[in-house]
Amino acid sequence: MKIRSTTLWVTLAFLMTLGCLSTAMAYEPGAPDGQATFIAQKCNMCHAVPEFEIEAKIKSEKMIGPALPAGGRDAEWMTGFLSRKIQLDGNDHKKEFKGTDEELERIVAWIGTLKAVE
């Protein structure tokens, strides 16, 4: 009987821990994958993300893009702009996005969670 009781408590503790972890992760949708994809696709070559202390690696003023988030655009617009289907002030995004549609969705979702740059 003692072994069953111990097993029950260990199982309950494990399940509660999993529940807490999944709840904590739910508050930042797309953040871990989106940030990792942002770095993997080298978006940080031109764009800084001050909220996560990500600095743009390019130092040329001609090539550097705006710090993110910028402009308060919605996900549909950002997806179109990054895939060069929409222009901003008559210009395409400077670099063509080479990743998959899923990677683009993750990056756009992550950018949507960022606080406005002040």
Q: What CATH number should be reported for the domain holding residue 57?
A: 1.10.760
Of the candidates 68, 18, 79, the residue with the CA atom closest to the CA atom of residue 46: 68
* DSSP line for the chain: -HHHHHHHHHHHHHHHHHHHHHHHHHTSTTHHHHHHHHHHTTGGGT--BGGGTBPPS---TTT----SS-TT--HHHHHHHHTTSS-BTTB--SS---S-HHHHHHHHHHHHHSPPP-
Give the mean pLDDT of the chain. Answer: 81
Q: Which amino acid is at 83?
A: S
Residue 118 lies in a domain: no
Specify the pLDDT at position 1: 57
66 is in which domain, residue-wise? 29-113
Tell me if 92 is assigned to some domain.
yes
More confident residue, 19 or 6: 6
Taking the model in full, what pTM does it have?
0.68
Structure confidence at residue 22 as a pLDDT band (50, 70, 90): very low
Number of domain units in the chain: 1
Quick one: pLDDT at residue 62? 84
Asked if 85 and 78 count as a contact pair (C-beta separation under 8 A), the reply is no
Q: Tell me the C-alpha distance between 100 and 2, whole Å.
A: 53
Q: Which residues contact 67 (CB under 8 A, 6 or more apart)?
A: 47, 48, 49, 50, 56, 117
Query: Which has the closest alpha carbon to 104: 48, 34, 42?
Result: 34
* 115, pLDDT greater than 70: yes
| 19 lies in some domain | no
pLDDT of residue 23: 35
Confidence of residue 32 (pLDDT cuts 50, 70, 90): low
- Give the pair of three-digit tokens for residue 52: 């996560």
User: Is the pLDDT reported for residue 5 higher than 90?
Assistant: no
